[in-house]
Amino acid sequence: MSTKPTTKRPWSLRRKLIIGGVSLLIVLSLALGLGLGLTLGQDDGDEDDNEPTLTPLPSPNATRPWLPKVNDTWQIILSHPPLISSSATSTTPNVSIFDIDLFDTPASTIQQLHKLGKKVICYFSAGSYEDWRPDAKDFKSEDLGKQVDDWPGEKWLKLGSENVRSIMKKRIDMAEKKGCDGVDPDNVDGFQNSNGLGLTANDSIAYMQFLSSITRPLNLTLGLKNAGSIISAVLPLVEFSVNEQCVEYSECEKFQPFIAAGKPVFHIEYPAGDGDLQQSVHANGFSEDTRKKFCSKNGPANGSEGFSTVLKKMNLDGWVEYCDGRVEVSSMDETSGGHERRRRKR
């Protein structure tokens, strides 16, 4: 929570040149390998815009995954799977997208959400080892880096490891089999953290390209979690952003390129930090001042125009407040999932 994002430090020109050059290499090899078209970002004199970008060429029988839209409404519940009664005719809240845990949520719940016209994004950690997952034993000790700060049981992963990638491919295959419409791979920003593996932005860009090479043929929509400093390199590969706390860190502007590209930013703030909610907040929502801070489009929230904002508790349970002050509580199946987790890692 209190860790200052390292991305705020301006990058040295040398580092930019190295990463820019390397991104260009990746882009070129991808363009050759996957038959994608290559366009170089127009240089308007701003150094930050010099990174190359990819534009997939339309191909007649390419799969067209579900494309979420700017301003789509959503709910995210990771502490336990949502519980939807078989006689339900709508969901609580009645939003169009649910972001839920890939492992804990049964396929039948995803089916129910689909029947109610909802889209489902399946969350998993792609860049950290979580010792409680059913496939945890498949990781090798050399895949693992430092423990994720404040988070026992979780370690940064070596993103270039073939073993890690084959585990992630299996997870994405599971997402497809369970019927998820998209995936929300978390912790792809190890390079912004003390990770013990020497991870670089380059590694994360290459990893997003790897994830995209798996999701694309499966017709699954891919999102980018946080990772503000690699957006220009990977924006063409992803269809949405999931951002945590850009208002808290006054960095929403970084995510505005998604909106400009017609791709939604699913934006989470934790106004109560990692504490619990007061009874009155639980019932009626945060004070108007708090809500204004996170929902206005100015001050620390500058640059958040068009974001799909939810105010949540850090354990990401069923409680949610929207910017219009509406408080809703989704039912959860408390017999499943329930690992105590903190969702902010950078």
Instruction: Enumerate binding residues for ligand NAG (CB under 6 A).
Output: 18, 22, 26, 61, 63-66, 70-71, 90, 94, 181, 200, 202, 206, 219, 253, 256, 302-303, 306
For 86, counting Cβ atoms within 10 Å of its Cβ (0-12 exposed, 13-18 middle, 19+ buried), the class is exposed
Distances from the Cα of 69 to the Cα of 72, 171, 307, angstroms: 6, 25, 11
The Cα–Cα gap between 147 and 155 comes to: 4
Minimal distance in Å, beta carbon 334 to ligand NAG? 25
Nearer to ligand NAG, 223 or 303 (CB): 303
CB of 272 to ligand NAG, least distance (A): 25
User: What is the CA angle 256-271-341, rounded to 5?
Assistant: 95
CB-wise, 302 or 331, nearer to ligand NAG?
Answer: 302
- Listed in sequence order, the residues at least 6 apart from 135 whose beta carbon sits closer than 8 Å to its beta carbon are 167, 170, 171
Q: Closest CB to ligand NAG among 39 and 63?
A: 63
What distance in Å separates the CA atoms of residue 100 and residue 81, rounded to the nearest whole number?
7
Nearer to ligand NAG, 153 or 196 (CB): 196
State how far the alpha carbon of 300 is from the alpha carbons of 4, 68, 248, 296, 331, in Å: 15, 26, 7, 9, 32
CA torsion sign for 14, 302, 67, 89 is positive
Work out how close the CB of 253 gets to ligand NAG at its nearest, in angstroms, rounded to a whole number: 5
Kindly tell me which of 138 and 176 has the beta carbon lying closer to ligand NAG: 176
Distances in Å between the Cα of 196 and the Cα atoms of 65, 66, 148, 152, 192 are 36, 37, 10, 15, 11
Please work out, in degrees rounded to the nearest 5, the angle formed at the alpha carbon of residue 212 by the alpha carbons of 207 and 216.
165
Q: Looking at beta carbons only, is 39 or 59 nearer to ligand NAG?
A: 59
Q: Which is nearer to ligand NAG, 94 or 108 (CB)?
A: 94
Nearer to ligand NAG, 142 or 150 (CB): 142
39 Cα distance to chain centroid: 26
Q: How far apart are CB 14 and ligand NAG at their closest, in Å?
A: 12
**Closer of 187 and 256 to ligand NAG (Cβ):** 256
> Whole-number minimum distance, CB 146 to ligand NAG, in Å?
19
Place of tokens 């699954």: 220
Residue 327, number of CB atoms within 10 A of its CB = 16
Inter-residue contact 136 to 158 (CB < 8 Å):
no
DSSP annotation of 317: -
> Measured from the CB of residue 206, what is the shortest distance to ligand NAG in angstroms?
4
